[in-house]
Amino acid sequence: AQSVTQLDSHVSVSEGTPVLLRCNYSSSYSPSLFWYVQHPNKGLQLLLKYTSAATLVKGINGFEAEFKKSETSFHLTKPSAHMSDAAEYFCVVSSGSARQLTFGSGTQLTVLP
Amino acid sequence: KAGVTQTPRYLIKTRGQQVTLSCSPISGHRSVSWYQQTPGQGLQFLFEYFSETQRNKGNFPGRFSGRQFSNSRSEMNVSTLELGDSALYLCASSLGQTETQYFGPGTRLLVL
C-alpha cells in the first residue's frame, strides 16, 4: 500500500522569498516520487521526479526536492518565489508493481507581490 | 513532440446519459492512464492501459470503462451518468509501464 500526505493545504509567500511545500509518503516498496504542478484550468505538469538515484533532485523553474528515507519525506523547495509559481502542487508516489500514481491532496501556493 | 491531447475539452451532459472521452498519447508512448479530479475527492486513479490491455483498475463502479486502440489512443466511457460524475478527467501517457507519466489538459465534464 502507498499513501501521500501533504502537510499544508495552503501556503502563502511573498515574491522573492523561499518556498517550502511539505510532503510525507508511505510505501511498502522503494518508491518513485514526483511533484506535479497544476495551474488554473490546466493539466498537470511534471516538476521533478525521484527514482532512487541522487537524493537531491533538481527540477524545472528552479524547484528542487530532497528525498529523506529516514523521515519518509520529499519536501519541495525553491529559493525565491515568482508570481508565476502561484498554482496547486501535488506530491505523488508510485511504488512496486502498482502502476497507478497516488496523489496527495494538493497544496495551493499563493505568491504575494 | 506534441503532448497528450484530450477531446473534447468541455462537455455538458444530463443524468442518465453516457459519455465518451478521448485521449491521444505522446507519439511513441504505449501506456495510457486515466484519472478523475474532483474538489471533494482530489485526484483518483481510474485505470491504465498498455498495449491495448487494461493493466490496473482503480476503485470505481463498472459504469466507468475504457479501451485502448492499436495506435495507443484511448477512450473512456461513463454510462448512466450521475451528478457526482462531474469532474475533470485527466489522461496521462508514458513510454512504458514504469516511466514518468505526462498529463493532458483534461476534459471537464458537467452533469446536470
Instruction: Give the mean model confidence (pLDDT) for residues A20-47.
Output: 90
Closest chain B residue to A92 measured between Cα atoms? B43
Burial A49-76 (b: 16+ CB within 10 A, else e): bbbeeeeebebeeebbbebeeeeebbbb
Closest chain A residue to B31 measured between Cα atoms? A99
Contact B33, B91 (CB under 8 A): yes
Test mutation, A39, A44, A52, A97, chain B, max B CBs within 10 A: A44
* CB atoms A101 and B35 under 8 Å: yes
| Tally of CB atoms within 10 A around B62 | 6
C-alpha span between B16 and B20 (Å, rounded): 14
pLDDT of the residue at A31 = 84
Eight-state DSSP code of residue A71: T
Question: Taking an 8 Å Cβ-Cβ cutoff, which residues of chain A contact chain B?
Answer: 34, 36, 42-46, 49, 90, 98-106
Closest chain A residue to B49 measured between Cα atoms? A99
User: CA B53 → CA A39, A44, B8, B31, B36, distances in Å?
Assistant: 32, 25, 24, 10, 20
Question: Per-residue pLDDT tens for A62-89?
Answer: 999 999 989 999 999 999 999 999 999 9
pLDDT of the residue at A99 = 65
Residues of B in contact with A90 (CB under 8 A): 43
Question: Per-residue pLDDT tens for B32-64?
Answer: 999 999 998 999 999 999 999 998 899 999 999
* CB atoms A43 and B103 under 8 Å: yes
pLDDT of the residue at B90 = 96
In A39-95, beta strands by DSSP E: 44-50, 56-58, 64-68, 73-78, 87-95
User: Does residue A2 surpass a pLDDT of 90?
Assistant: no
Question: Per-residue pLDDT tens for B100-112?
Answer: 899 999 999 999 9
Rounded to the nearest integer, the mean pLDDT of chain A is 91
* CB atoms B45 and A46 under 8 Å: no
Question: Per-residue pLDDT tens for B63-91?
Answer: 999 999 999 999 999 999 999 999 999 99
* CB atoms B4 and A43 under 8 Å: yes
C-alpha span between B33 and B55 (Å, rounded): 10
Q: How many CA atoms lie within 13 A of A91 on its CB side?
A: 29
C-alpha span between A52 and B96 (Å, rounded): 18
How close does chain B come to A113, measured CA to CA in Å?
27
Q: What percent of chain A has pLDDT over 70?
A: 96
CB pairs under 8 A between A and B: 47
